[in-house]
Amino acid sequence: MRPKRRRLYFVLAGMSALAVAVALALAAFEDNLVFFNSPTDVYAKEVPQDRRFRLGGLVEEESVAKSADGLTTTFRVTDLNRAVPVAYTGILPDLFREGQGIVADGHLNADGTFVADNVLAKHDENYMPPEVAEALKKSGKWKGGSE
């Protein structure tokens, strides 16, 4: 084998190894990505079940209910266009209440309920999670400050 051909094979093998490494890294990266969706996005995009994502919006008025066991709380998250039912088992943040912005991590189950693993509530009366504020702006329902 001539040296020029040997170098060509060496470069091709190196590029192939690099392509496989990049493909594996991108696959692992995509599995760990958590996207944000508003309730309107959930209905528009048909988010696959068991795919983790963040759901953000306002807790709909008069939608919060506790189950008989006292641990599971159900409520609806809305962007004032659409609403998604949410079930959360655990202790909710102290600032969680109706009409306030939240971001929940979890997945959709078969009946369209968002099963939350974690619920984050705003930390003061002027703060709105940026994703929630953006979703409300898109829906045309933003009642925020100067923006």
Mean pLDDT of 43-61: 85
Interatomic CA distance for residues 124 and 112, integer angstroms? 31
pLDDT at 10 over 60: yes
Under 8 Å between Cβ of 50 and 57:
no
pLDDT score, position 15? 95
The pLDDT assigned to 146 comes to: 47
In the structure, what pLDDT confidence band is assigned to residue 110 with cuts at 50, 70 and 90?
confident
Residue 55 confidence (pLDDT) above 60: yes
Q: How is 66-94 classified by DSSP, letter by letter?
A: E-TTSSEEEEEEE-SS-EEEEEEESPPPT
**Are 84 and 47 in contact, with CB atoms under 8 Å apart?**
no
Confidence (pLDDT) at 147: 47
> How confident is the model over 32-51, as pLDDT tens digits?
787 888 888 888 877 777 78
Query: Nearest CA to 34 among 95, 120, 111, 101?
Result: 120
Read off the pTM: 0.67
